[in-house]
Amino acid sequence: MTGGGIGPLEPGEGTWDHEDAPTGPRTPAPPGWTGRPRAFYARHRRAVLTAASVAVLAAAAVRIHATRPEPPAALPPSPPSQTLSLTYGEPVEPTPDGAAFAFTVRVRTSSGPPVTVERIGQPSPALSVSIRPRLPAAVAAGEVRELLVLIQTKDCVHVARNSGLPFLEVTLSNGTQKEDHSYIPGDRYARDLSVALTRACPETRDEPSPSPS
């Protein structure tokens, strides 16, 4: 028949064109397998997304923790002599018994841990020093303590009356460091000390006694 013509036949349902036909036997999917992951995801979508988000955040936290810069090491406190100041006060009159010179000093800690004044002395072997109240004395940051310093003469022959700018030898500690430091109280202290020592050890006391005739 040459009428309208008949086109190529379409493969029916369940059939394949010879060009698309599978080359091997087709293995059917196990019963109940098709669509099971989708059904599980549909039922537990929120829990799955939450678990995934938690896993991502945990991994990010671990990475941030592992790559974070190390904090700088804490600096040790400053040496105690850099935070504690010692200031000459004034002579104490009348001079207490047994002392050639008595005066006050004010000690102050500006910052950092408390500084303990363990000892106050002076370099001359002809003199001795005692402190009231007795040391040690801890001085907290911002605190001011007043101490009484008593100087006794042990050897008038070797007392230096014109000592220029005599200094006080102080031992300090702040819990981590211990330090020996010298403080120069200033011209007024040197002048008052010289007057007191001259009074306690007049020059006539140094002169040899005349030999008996």
Which residues, 6+ apart, have CB-to-CB distance to 213 below 8 Å? none
Question: What pLDDT does residue 2 have?
Answer: 47
How far apart, in whole angstroms, are the C-alpha atoms of residue 47 and residue 53?
10
Question: What pLDDT does residue 114 have?
Answer: 96
Terminal C-alpha separation, the chain: 180
The model's pTM is 0.61
DSSP 27-62: PPPPTTTTTHHHHHHHHTHHHHHHHHHHHHHHHHHH
Name residues of the chain where pLDDT drops below 70: 1-46, 48-49, 62, 65-73, 161-165, 204-213
